[in-house]
């Protein structure tokens, strides 16, 4: 195990300067509870400076040719790759993410920046056939896309680097500037990431970095902000939408990770996938496998296999390369997770394994026979807990899933193309993964949910469309 050199403070980056403020909060290592630094909070006066700088930066970014913007993104991506191990170690200490997973995330973020650079070269409009109406005859109509201006990017702790790249990359590729407000629980990681991006050649005018919940609330209301991109809980997403006025927003929110194991599924394929994708990242992913619905004829065999896979996972220090499951983000979060587990057990669920914690380290927990109305099923757990429930009628499963408030992603394991097509049509989700679990995302693909799981789509091509606005131009003869 290595002991990384951490930034001592998470500073603010405003108008090309790293600065502090009069107010700061401590940052803690979730694995051992030790203090690891402080996070400065952005005052209203400093936020005004950041907003003014962002407006100037938006003009500069929009004026730069797309090819030059793409080149800067590619060079920044290369620098991120060169610092992958360093950044993964900081992330492991600050967020508890196992260093192996952190390294994978950092490298994915570099790919995301490259993908955004490529898509920025393909922003295109379209010809509108004006001769189709009498009033338009003889005119030339084209629809073009232009950058929105200033993007406020509010990012979470659970995949802090790549989820930030999914906002920064498309915004910059489209010609916008960004004010970034990361989670306080990943502030040191994001400071290091911003340093690496700037060192890689990202123009400082493109980015302002602020900290603090008050700054986030002010960004949502600020008239200088043209677009808000948020990843986080459904409750906060609802507040952002309510407070943003007529600004456009993209909200990537929560989910309860349903995965269906159909009667014809191959248990050797689906059980290990559900185990790993329910427990990796300590279950702190909005598409983490949380609820597995298994046909009753396969239920006992599936339960045996998933329990064996869960039992083989190593839980412990995130700096250990062998660790599969590290701590959740805080002891408070761990206590909340165990409250849901204990409540489900009182309602009749059986604990197959796990169900305990040491500080913020929650044992990977497998529950069987969980009542469908239990909070551990209906609410987003955001922890290493998987509920396994038998079913007899798959149509009833479809109805049960659709009746819930979330609609992010679902998975189904089946050898029947007909059933796969039925699931695709019936499940009201942002994504349906066939012969895979709910936990799957490729960075170039459209990603997002419906209902309480959000609105808008990420993935560089789709985020660029969100972060540009359409302008119709008519040429009269």
Annotated catalytic, 105? no
Do 96 and 282 meet the contact criterion of CB atoms below 8 Å apart? yes
Annotated catalytic, 286? yes
* Band of residue 167 on the pLDDT scale cut at 50, 70, 90: very high
Length of the chain: 477
For the chain, the structural domain boundaries read: 9-253+453-476, 258-445
* Band of residue 115 on the pLDDT scale cut at 50, 70, 90: very high
Which CATH entry fits the domain spanning 9-253+453-476: 3.40.50.300, 3.40.50.10470, 3.40.605.10, 3.90.1170.50?
Answer: 3.40.605.10
pLDDT tens profile 369-414 = 999 999 999 999 999 999 999 999 999 999 999 999 999 999 999 9
* CA distances, 212 to each of 20, 184, 330 (Å): 13, 7, 18
Q: Which of 42, 270, 274, 286 is catalytic?
A: 286
* CA distances, 361 to each of 6, 182, 211, 425 (Å): 22, 23, 27, 39
Enter the pTM of the model: 0.96
Long-range Cβ contacts of 316-320 (<8 Å, 24+ apart): 316/361, 317/1, 317/31, 318/31, 318/92, 318/93, 318/96, 318/97, 318/98, 318/99, 318/102, 319/1, 319/2, 319/3, 319/4, 319/89, 319/92, 319/93, 319/99, 320/1, 320/98, 320/99
Report whether pLDDT(3) > 60.
no
Report whether pLDDT(6) > 90.
no
| Cα maximum dimension of the chain | 76
Q: Which of 252, 380, 458, 466 is catalytic?
A: 252
Q: Which residues contact 132 (CB under 8 A, 6 or more apart)?
A: none
**Residue 423: what pLDDT?**
98
The whole-chain average pLDDT of the chain stands at: 97
Do 263 and 297 meet the contact criterion of CB atoms below 8 Å apart? yes
**Among 387, 319, 329, which Cα is nearest to 354's?**
387
């002991």: which residue's tokens? 3
Residue 369 φ/ψ region, left for φ over 0, alpha for ψ in the -120 to 50 degree band, beta for the rest: left
* Band of residue 247 on the pLDDT scale cut at 50, 70, 90: very high
> Rounded to whole angstroms, how far apart are CA atoms 65 and 76?
17
* Band of residue 2 on the pLDDT scale cut at 50, 70, 90: low
* Band of residue 477 on the pLDDT scale cut at 50, 70, 90: confident
| Range of lowest pLDDT (7-21, 308-322, 342-356, 449-463) | 7-21
Q: Which residues contact 458 (CB under 8 A, 6 or more apart)?
A: 166, 167, 170, 250, 252, 446, 447, 448
Query: What's the CATH code, domain 258-445?
Result: 3.40.309.10
pLDDT tens profile 321-373 = 999 999 999 999 999 999 999 999 999 999 999 999 999 999 999 999 999 99
**Residue 9: what pLDDT?**
86
């Amino acid at each position: 195990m290595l002991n990384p050199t951490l930034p001592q403070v998470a500073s603010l980056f405003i108008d090309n300067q790293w600065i502090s403020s009069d107010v700061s909060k401590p940052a803690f290592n979730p694995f051992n509870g030790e203090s690891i630094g402080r996070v400065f909070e952005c005052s209203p006066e400093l936020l005004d400076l950041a907003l003014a700088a962002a407006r100037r930066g938006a003009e500069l970014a929009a004026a730069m040719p797309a090819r030059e913007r793409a080149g800067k993104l590619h060079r920044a991506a290369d620098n991120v790759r060169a610092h992958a191990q360093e950044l993964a170690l900081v992330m492991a200490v600050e967020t508890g993410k196992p260093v192996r997973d952190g390294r994978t995330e950092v490298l994915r973020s570099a790919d995301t920046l490259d993908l955004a650079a490529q898509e920025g070269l393909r922003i295109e409009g379209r010809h509108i056939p004006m001769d189709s109406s009498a009033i338009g005859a003889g005119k030339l109509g084209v629809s073009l896309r232009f950058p929105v201006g200033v993007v406020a990017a509010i990012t979470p702790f659970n995949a802090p680097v790549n989820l930030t790249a999914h906002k920064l990359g498309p915004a910059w590729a489209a010609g916008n500037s960004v004010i970034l407000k990361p989670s306080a629980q990943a502030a040191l990681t994001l400071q290091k990431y911003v340093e690496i991006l700037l060192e890689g050649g990202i123009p400082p005018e493109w980015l302002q970095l602020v900290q603090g919940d008050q700054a986030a609330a002010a960004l949502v209301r600020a008239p200088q902000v043209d677009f808000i991109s948020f990843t986080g809980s459904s409750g906060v997403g609802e507040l952002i939408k309510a407070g943003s006025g007529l600004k456009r927003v993209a909200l990537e929110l929560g989910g309860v990770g349903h995965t269906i194991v159909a009667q014809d599924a191959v248990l050797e394929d689906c059980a290990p996938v559900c185990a790993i994708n329910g427990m990796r990242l300590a279950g702190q992913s909005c598409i983490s496998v949380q609820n597995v619905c298994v046909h009753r004829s396969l239920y006992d065999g599936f339960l045996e296999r998933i329990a064996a896979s869960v039992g083989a996972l190593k839980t412990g220090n995130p700096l250990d390369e062998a660790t599969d499951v590290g701590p959740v983000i805080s002891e408070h979060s761990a206590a909340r997770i165990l409250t849901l587990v204990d409540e489900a057990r009182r309602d009749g669920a059986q604990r197959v394994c796990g169900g305990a914690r040491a500080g913020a380290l929650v044992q990977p927990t497998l529950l069987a026979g969980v009542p469908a109305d239990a909070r551990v099923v209906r609410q987003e757990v955001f922890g290493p807990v998987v509920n396994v429930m038998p079913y007899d009628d798959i149509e009833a499963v479809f109805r049960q899933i659709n009746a819930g408030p979330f609609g992010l992603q679902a998975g189904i394991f089946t050898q029947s193309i007909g059933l796969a097509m039925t699931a695709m049509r019936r499940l009201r989700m942002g994504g349906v993964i066939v012969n895979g679990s709910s936990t799957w995302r490729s960075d170039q693909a459209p990603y997002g949910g419906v209902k309480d799981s959000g609105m808008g789509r990420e993935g560089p091509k789709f985020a660029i469309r969100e972060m540009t606005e359409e302008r119709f131009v008519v040429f009269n003869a």
